[in-house]
Structure 1
Amino acid sequence: MKVLVVGNGGREHALAWKLLQSNQVEQVFCVPGNGGTASMANCQNIPLAVDDFPGIGNYCHHNGINLVVVGPEVPLAKGITDFLHNQGLKVFGPTRAGAQIEASKAWSKALMQEAGIPTAKAAVFTEAAAAKSYVTAQGAPIVVKADGLAAGKGVTVAETVEQAHSAIEAIFQGQFGSAGEFVVIEECLIGQEVSVLALTDGLTIRPLLPAQDHKRIGEGDTGDNTGGMGAYAPAPIATPEIMARVQTEVLERAIATLKAKGIDYRGVLYAGLMIAPNGDFKVLEFNCRFGDPETQVILPLLETPLEELILACVEQRLAQTPIAWKPGAAATVVAAAGGYPGEYEKGYVITGITQATATGVTVFHAGTTLNQQQEIVTNGGRVLNVTGTGANFAEAIAQAYKGLESIHFTGIYYRRDIGHRVKD
């Protein structure tokens, strides 16, 4: 089988890595891929943009591609699945209609309310004055969200009314482009966030291991939001009892409501939850794809071949396909460029990846590329994901940080407290 993976981040490197572990997958192609995918055996980067749908379709037809797996949300929101379906190709990822669940927070919130899914109280605004008035009346803390896709950075948890007003102004002034046409204002929930990624064929939906991301740039979960600075799985706070409720109160309700709207949703449905100290939970948001960096800790623990599960979703036979897991835990730490999530430079040579791998970690490339000398260099804000596994969290976390000691590039930054909630 030949598989084409769309995307160029750590998530896509992890998908390609996991797919190639199966003896049923002979080759993976990545569009456009990164320095890590370029360096793997039986993996080839294709220099096309993720939204070049005609180019991707032509490549698939001319090279005998059996399956397309879409990583990022942007091509899904633009309709890559619809386009490639019309060309007779098998695609893992929801259609454009289904991808609205991430592409529009307002649409997603309305779906949750219609489905009876527990979620935060919210209101949607199209102009700054009305949004500010609402915030003033509600008080702080309060959450301000840009409506559309903002690469994980369009959310402000405002501690004061003034901070919320500033966030509203920034969104309407175009900080997040077209994502700022609407603003969603939500109540601020207290607790711990957990990512529940589930696979679905539109009829059956099955959760993967719950994971916990670290979204803030600073240690102690402080500073600006990022795309994610590290993660671990399985998240202990998502107990079997909570996961059973998530299955019935969130996942099954969401799929049933999508189906009632005429949306045939096949792919990943990712529920971002806030779990309160008393065990109650609410859905913060839905995403329409694998999480990043959650994928980098979930897939190392997956026993079932990934392509079996993906094909079961595409061919609507997930109910007959079991999911098996390896024992233990996984943790990943993101090595970021200096300055991220703000301005940062690219092109710095990365050393020590081979030495790190020799310690037992898996290094997933995120923002990397090959230069003319065939050296791995930095090419993004989140540069590498260093993933450790072990019999428990202490082992997995220690392995990840041990691997990081070997890796160097100018300006390297990483949090030193990933997994701090489970170290005890």
Structure 2
Amino acid sequence: MNILVIGSGGREHALVQKCRQSPQAERVIASPGNGGMAAEIDCYDVAVEDIDGLVKLAEEQSIGLVVVGPEVPLSLGLVDAMQDAGIPAYGPNRLGAQLESSKAFCKDFFARHSIPTAAYATFTEVAPALAYLQEHPAPIVIKASGLAAGKGVIMAETQDEAIAAVKDMLEGDAFGSSGQEIVIEETLYGEEASIHVVASGEDYLCLPPSQDHKRAGEGDTGLNTGGMGAYTPTSKMTPAMQAEIEEQVIRPTLAGLKADGIDYRGTLYAGVMLTETGVKVLEYNVRFGDPETQVLLPMLDADLVPILLASAKGQSLPKDITFKEGAAIVVVLAAGGYPGKYAKGNPITFPDELPEGAAIVHAGTKRSEDGTIMTAGGRVLGISGQAPTLQQAAEIAYSVCDQIEFEDKYLRRDIGYRELNRS
């Protein structure tokens, strides 16, 4: 069949690479794609927000499966539109996508279905939000309710920071319409983990636990980003914790969605905090994580396409899937200044050969007419390593990172440090 991958980041490049390995994939295309994808497949310049344009592209290219990468087209109802056109599309419909597109909706869903999470309140006006802060002083977390590309979370350590964050979002337009409603919630302490599930109604498959590194600076300091690196697996996630998450989080969530009249299909990605009192859900995403996808898919020892297609059609999923032994890590090479202002259009120099176990996934790149790959985003490349141990995987990835050059290249050199310090 012909497969269309929607999106332009590292997650989508990883999906393209995995789909191309499938015997069922006659042709894989992307829209809009990036420089790395354009060197491998046909890319079409249709924006992820152009729902009608994407449906038209799928019809013109005789697409048998659409794989939606980012959250924005999901929140705009792309899957609904594809289904109306008779084209199977992997991802939740508009109703299901509210779990990510509205943090207020998500937190209310948690409360309604008794899913463990941080105490919270939602606000659309400054005065009641500030009054709440007086009763619940910092440290506290302020979140823009809408989509903010992973950057709409302020972890306020002081009361002044909390007050400023509230005013910036509700009065100062810090995150545009995404910040017109905010969620204020208690700070949870522990270690985070990413739990990815492929769902088809109440049927689901769990992928291995992974851990993302959101902060821009080493030691998890600095501003929140879309993700500076990730690794899998994490030994912090014990089999007992995995069972607890499935029992207290995943199954009640899928049952709750069904009870609420939502036919949920696609990825359910739970960001969880492993606290001293048990697992608590920080938030849900409704698509594969970026950069977690770049370590999860290479570890999948199975054909991804029939799994995605079964989910898209609401059919039963395989009882289990096989994953490779060992570990995988991805390090993001970013443009200097990210997640703030950064330059674009700088040429990138790549190594002639890659060591065994290494791979390069493009995120914010574009390909010029002469074939030159240039920077085109904040997160430019994802460099992954796969090996029997995380230490070996990290050595592979960082050896490639050091051979890639572009102006103002920035990376964290401590990806996986918690796990490496445990081993």
Class of the TM-score when normalised by the shorter of the 2 chains: over 0.9
| CA-CA distance at 1:372 after TM superposition | 2.9
1:16 and 2:13 are equivalent in the alignment: no
| CA-CA distance at 1:6 after TM superposition | 0.3
Q: Which amino acid aligns with 2:412?
A: R
1:409 and 2:406 are equivalent in the alignment: yes
Tell me the SS of whatever aligns to 2:134.
helix
Which stretches in structure 1 are left out of the alignment for 5+ residues? none
- Cα deviations by residue, 1:200-247 (Å, 9 ceiling, x for unpaired): 001212211111000000001000000000000112211111111111
Q: Which amino acid aligns with 2:417?
A: H
Tell me the SS of whatever aligns to 1:262.
coil
Deviates more, 1:127-136 or 1:188-197: 127-136
Q: Structure 2: how far apart are the matches of 1:216 and 1:122?
A: 23
Q: Which amino acid aligns with 1:398?
A: E
Tell me the SS of whatever aligns to 1:341.
coil
Q: Give the aligned partner of residue 237 of structure 2.
A: 238
1:141 and 2:139 are equivalent in the alignment: yes
Residue 289 (structure 1) aligned to one of 287, 290, 293: 287
Q: Which amino acid aligns with 1:423?
A: L
Q: Which amino acid aligns with 1:223?
A: G
Tell me the SS of whatever aligns to 1:423.
helix
Q: Would you say the 8 A contact 1:215–1:221 is kept in 2?
A: yes
Deviates more, 1:19-28 or 1:1-10: 19-28
Q: Which amino acid aligns with 1:251?
A: I
Q: Would you say the 8 A contact 1:200–1:318 is kept in 2?
A: no
Tell me the SS of whatever aligns to 1:268.
strand
| CA-CA distance at 1:416 after TM superposition | 0.6
Q: Any residues of structure 2 matched to 1:370-389 within 5 Å, and which?
A: 370-389=367-386
1:38 and 2:38 are equivalent in the alignment: yes
Q: Give the aligned partner of residue 114 of structure 1.
A: 112
Q: Which amino acid aligns with 1:254?
A: T
Q: Any residues of structure 2 matched to 1:12-411 within 5 Å, and which?
A: 12-40=12-40, 43-172=41-170, 173-276=172-275, 278=276, 280-355=278-353, 357-358=354-355, 360-411=357-408
Tell me the SS of whatever aligns to 1:66.
strand
Q: Would you say the 8 A contact 1:301–1:326 is kept in 2?
A: yes
Q: Would you say the 8 A contact 2:311–2:317 is kept in 1?
A: no
Q: Structure 1: how far apart are the matches of 2:319 and 2:28?
A: 23
TM-score (norm 1): 0.97
- Report the number of matched residues: 420
Q: Which runs of 4+ in 1 moved over 2 A?
A: 315-322, 357-360
Q: What is the percentage of aligned positions where both structures have the same residue?
A: 48
Deviates more, 1:57-66 or 1:189-198: 57-66
| CA-CA distance at 1:373 after TM superposition | 2.3
Which stretches in structure 2 are left out of the alignment for 5+ residues? none
| CA-CA distance at 1:319 after TM superposition | 4.0
Q: Structure 2: how far apart are the matches of 1:274 and 1:55?
A: 39
Question: RMSD between aligned alpha carbons?
Answer: 1.1
- Cα deviations by residue, 1:58-100 (Å, 9 ceiling, x for unpaired): 2211221100000000000011011111111100010000000
| CA-CA distance at 1:308 after TM superposition | 1.6
Q: Give the aligned partner of residue 4 of structure 1.
A: 4
Tell me the SS of whatever aligns to 1:107.
helix
Q: Structure 1: how far apart are the matches of 2:184 and 2:368?
A: 44
1:418 and 2:415 are equivalent in the alignment: yes
Q: Which amino acid aligns with 2:375?
A: T
| CA-CA distance at 1:352 after TM superposition | 1.5
Q: Would you say the 8 A contact 1:232–1:331 is kept in 2?
A: yes
Q: Structure 2: how far apart are the matches of 1:261 and 1:281?
A: 24
Q: Which amino acid aligns with 1:376?
A: I
Q: Structure 1: how far apart are the matches of 2:300 and 2:251?
A: 22
| CA-CA distance at 1:358 after TM superposition | 4.3
Tell me the SS of whatever aligns to 1:44.
coil
Q: Structure 1: how far apart are the matches of 2:368 and 2:412?
A: 27
| CA-CA distance at 1:359 after TM superposition | 5.4
Q: Which amino acid aligns with 2:216?
A: I
| CA-CA distance at 1:287 after TM superposition | 0.6
Q: Structure 2: how far apart are the matches of 1:3 and 1:353?
A: 30
Q: Would you say the 8 A contact 2:363–2:377 is kept in 1?
A: yes
Q: Would you say the 8 A contact 1:312–1:321 is kept in 2?
A: no
Q: Which amino acid aligns with 1:394?
A: Q
Deviates more, 1:47-56 or 1:265-274: 47-56
Q: Structure 1: how far apart are the matches of 2:208 and 2:356?
A: 25
| CA-CA distance at 1:321 after TM superposition | 4.6
Q: Which amino acid aligns with 2:220?
A: D
